[in-house]
């Protein structure tokens, strides 16, 4: 998967478009959740593909989505640590 292309695609979509996009992949995200997650995208590093998502980012995702929903979301894209 080309993660940079995916991130570029996600950043181009409006909150409404992104909510619909997520729904097609069975990832129900509200517009509020998307708005809170967007700043985390700007801190994304290609290194995360190799090393995993840093703990402080994981905690922020869990804070925004809740532990179960974060686990479901991240489980679709690889190991949930």
pLDDT of residue 33: 92
The tens digit of pLDDT for each residue in 14-63 reads 999 988 888 887 878 899 999 999 888 878 877 877 888 888 988 998 99
Measured distance CA(61)–CA(74) in Å, rounded: 10
Per-residue model confidence (pLDDT) at position 80 = 46
pLDDT of the residue at 81? 43
* Distance (Å, whole) CA 13 – CA 46: 21
Residue 18: count other Cβ atoms within 10 Å of its Cβ.
Answer: 21
pLDDT higher than 50, residue 68: yes
Instruction: Write down the pLDDT at residue 60.
Output: 93
**Planar angle of CA 23, 73, 44, nearest 5 degrees:** 105
Cα dihedral 9, 77, 50, 70, rounded to 10, equals 100
């Amino acid at each position: 998967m080309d993660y940079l292309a995916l991130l570029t695609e996600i950043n181009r979509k409006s909150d409404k478009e992104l909510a619909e996009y997520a729904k097609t992949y069975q990832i129900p995200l509200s517009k509020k959740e998307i708005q809170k997650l967007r700043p985390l995208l700007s801190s994304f590093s290609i290194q995360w593909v190799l090393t995993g998502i840093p703990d402080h980012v994981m905690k922020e995702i869990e804070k925004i989505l809740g532990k179960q929903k974060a686990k479901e979301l991240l489980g679709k894209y690889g190991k949930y640590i």
